[in-house]
Amino acid sequence: MNTLAKILIILTIFMISLTLSSFAPTSDFKEDELDNFVAKSPLGVGHGRFLAQQPTGLVKCNINPRLCRAKGSPGPDCCKKKCVNVHTDKQNCGLCGKKCKNMEICCKGSCVNPMVNKRHCGGCNNVCNRGDSCVRGMCSYA
């Protein structure tokens, strides 16, 4: 066997062992341990030396839904392997996969148009006074 083949075999074994060691266990965690699996950076990996980095964004909430309740999570609900808040998320409004239309926002799990909705005029929970209308996102627009 030539030297190049030996190097390729060693590299393959190294990459397989590195990949297997990076998977997080799927058993129940304590709440303190859950914080370690929430992504800390946009790339989903911790900071430090390249080979010593431990992936933190690889654990999906469909395997362990409690991850979505951990500190720093985007929301308490798990939709398509991502933590979201179905009360405010425009792509999962009220339930997973329910998308709001272009001009709508998600308020309390319902898609509303803040330009004309009297209960959410200009934004969520901005209620117009009795008798006032919501026009262009403002109450009593003249």
Say how far residue 88 (Cα) sits from the centre of its chain: 12
For residue 100 the two structure tokens come to 């709001």
With a cut of 80, say whether residue 54 has pLDDT above it: no
Cα 37 to Cα 85: distance, rounded to the nearest angstrom: 18
pTM of the predicted protein model: 0.53
User: Domains of the chain: which residue ranges?
Assistant: 3-84
- The pLDDT confidence band at residue 44, using thresholds 50, 70 and 90, is very low
Mean pLDDT (whole number) for 68-79: 88
